[in-house]
Structure 1
Amino acid sequence: MDFFLSLRGSKAGPFSIFKVGELLERGEVTPETLGWHRGMEEWLPISEIPALDAVRERVLAEKEDRESEAAPGPPPMPDRPPMPEPPGPFPQAPLPGTGAAPAQVLTRAAAIDPPRPFVRFFARMFDYTLISVLVFKFSAIEIVQPHVGESVADFMTRYLAEMQKPEARQFALALVFSLIGWHVLEAFLVHLLGTTPGKAIFGLRVTTNEGNRLPVLTSLGRSFYVYILGVGFYQFPFILIGMVFSIIRLLTSGACLWDQHLRTRVEGKPLGAVRILLAIGAFFVLLLLQSVSYS
């Protein structure tokens, strides 16, 4: 069973029951921290979630044992009772209840980024466009362009006739194999660098839930998870279904299906004005290269 916790006002997770116990033991969360798991109607404190009773009681018992072992013994009896000191003003003493509350310590694994599905969408579309432009660049196909004053029916007739040529079929086959090869390359890029060209432009990085680099098999599995379920082999209508499902799931649960199953996460830097201009410029360069290929 996976649990989600409210940390610094944000939803964090999913965590296993053992991870929740570890966070309780280290003091990074308290029994008053709000939590939720599938089947609950609302967020409740950890102390009121029945599924966490056993781990909470174990952590509290271990904490009491450590405190009792570390408690000092009684001091030796004095020869005579000390004389009480006369009361006096204490201007330096803080008033009760006015001290600053101790800051809650959060590890990197407990931190969580906003989902930002559309940033991730444009990052993947940049990678897809990059591969498509490269395939166009080295192919002999001529892209059908509409003529001035040409009707839609005439253009579609010319387009369908062009798509029946052997060159068009060879191009489609080359694009399919290029995208499969790209997902293999993407897996190794994520394993080595944690990012791809599109993700780097948008400030995204893929890590494990603990913030570590992905193992190569996990990275390869994630890449083809996305290829099959996320973009539907890049074939209509499967690509539309996969992307809509991924966006909805990311907005509702905070993680895509493959990230939850493989225990991975996508970290992101703030998307400031400089990064937005960089992304627009990168897409413009790709479109410029694509137009040169068509001309």
Structure 2
Amino acid sequence: MTSTNVPDIDVFGEEPGAKSRTSGYYTDSEPRIWARFLGKWVDFYLCQIPTFAVFYILSLLYGFGVGLFGWPYEDAYFEGWGFVIGYFVLQLLVFLLLEAFCISQFRNTPGKALMGIRVRNAIGGRLPFSTSLKRTGMSMLAGMGLCLPLISLLTHIMQARALSEDGFVLWDKYDGLQYQTGPVAAWRWAIAILGYAFFRIVDAALSYL
């Protein structure tokens, strides 16, 4: 009986990582700080789409409740800082669940796939959803600073320094995770950078409306 070892191929058709790294967290020679940064934030901004869908469904259910059960209608739910904070919290929750699900099922996310990154457990398998959920929560808290201004900047600097000096960040060490990475073509970098810049500009513009 003949056995063949077929290398894992990511969704863009490239083999992630022919090189190996002694730390065990990567199969590439560099920590790829910017690739990880862009991959995470591309995912977060793409999460606006399902978040809006969830918010729209909740709005319909609320309107249904107002009409059918006579619930009091509150304009504050859909305007002002109450709306901004509520929508932001909803996006964090949706992102937490979706990233954890994608990593547990596909070993990566759209942003990670774009930047040639795949997350596996210590023996190369898929993460259980519970493990993936804890990992995503730790990355959101310690890496993204819950996306809060200044706090997010501080956590990014701290984790970028840890990644540069140690080769891994806090949530990499959870259950011995490993990151498989591969070469990233220039067009992927262009899409990630332009996408990130576009969403940041849109965020800045909306904050002044």
Identify the TM-score tier after normalising by the shorter chain. 0.5 to 0.7
2:47 is paired with a residue whose SS is helix
Q: 1:131–1:182: 8 Å Cα contact kept in structure 2?
A: yes
Structure 1: gaps spanning 5 or more residues: 1-8, 15-108, 141-164
Q: Which has the higher contact order (CA 8 A, sep 6+)?
A: 2
Match of 2:139 in 1: 226
Instruction: Give per-residue Cα distances to partners, 1:198-238, cap 9 Å, x unaligned.
Output: 11111111112332211222111100011111111111222
Aligned with 1:273 (options 181, 186, 193): 186
Instruction: Give per-residue Cα distances to partners, 1:248-275, cap 9 Å, x unaligned.
Output: 1111111111111321122222122232
Match of 1:123 in 2: 39
Aligned with 1:260 (options 149, 152, 173): 173
C-alpha separation in 1, matches of 2:195 and 2:27: 30
Tell me the CA shift for residue 191 of structure 1: 0.3
245-254 or 271-280, which moves further after superposition?
A: 271-280
Match of 1:203 in 2: 116
Q: 1:12–1:112: 8 Å Cα contact kept in structure 2?
A: no
Identity of counterpart residues, as a percentage? Answer: 26
Instruction: Give per-residue Cα distances to partners, 1:107-163, cap 9 Å, x unaligned.
Output: xx99454210111001111122223476579989xxxxxxxxxxxxxxxxxxxxxxx
Instruction: Give per-residue Cα distances to partners, 1:37-94, cap 9 Å, x unaligned.
Output: xxxxxxxxxxxxxxxxxxxxxxxxxxxxxxxxxxxxxxxxxxxxxxxxxxxxxxxxxx
**In 2 relative to 1, CA 130–110 (structure 1 residues): closer, same or farther, beyond 3 Å?**
closer
Aligned length: 169
Q: 1:11–1:112: 8 Å Cα contact kept in structure 2?
A: yes
C-alpha separation in 2, matches of 1:173 and 1:257: 28
Structure 2 length-normalised TM: 0.66
Match of 1:12 in 2: 22
Q: Structure 1 or 2: larger strand share?
A: 1
Report the AA paired with residue 129 of structure 2: V
Quote the RMSD (CA, aligned, Å).
Answer: 3.6
**In 2 relative to 1, CA 133–264 (structure 1 residues): closer, same or farther, beyond 3 Å?**
same
After the TM superposition, which residues 32-181 of structure 1 pair with which residues of structure 2 at under 5 Å, given as runs? 111-132=27-48, 166-181=79-94
Tell me the CA shift for residue 167 of structure 1: 2.8
2:95 is paired with a residue whose SS is helix
Structure 2: gaps spanning 5 or more residues: 1-18, 57-77
**In 2 relative to 1, CA 289–237 (structure 1 residues): closer, same or farther, beyond 3 Å?**
closer
Q: 2:107–2:126: 8 Å Cα contact kept in structure 1?
A: yes
**In 2 relative to 1, CA 171–111 (structure 1 residues): closer, same or farther, beyond 3 Å?**
closer
Which has the higher Rg, Structure 1 or Structure 2? Answer: 1
Tell me the CA shift for residue 171 of structure 1: 2.2
C-alpha separation in 2, matches of 1:194 and 1:10: 19
Structure 1 length-normalised TM: 0.48
2:152 paired with 1:239:
yes
Match of 1:36 in 2: none
Match of 1:185 in 2: 98
**In 2 relative to 1, CA 253–128 (structure 1 residues): closer, same or farther, beyond 3 Å?**
same
**In 2 relative to 1, CA 129–110 (structure 1 residues): closer, same or farther, beyond 3 Å?**
closer
Q: 1:132–1:175: 8 Å Cα contact kept in structure 2?
A: no
**In 2 relative to 1, CA 12–183 (structure 1 residues): closer, same or farther, beyond 3 Å?**
same
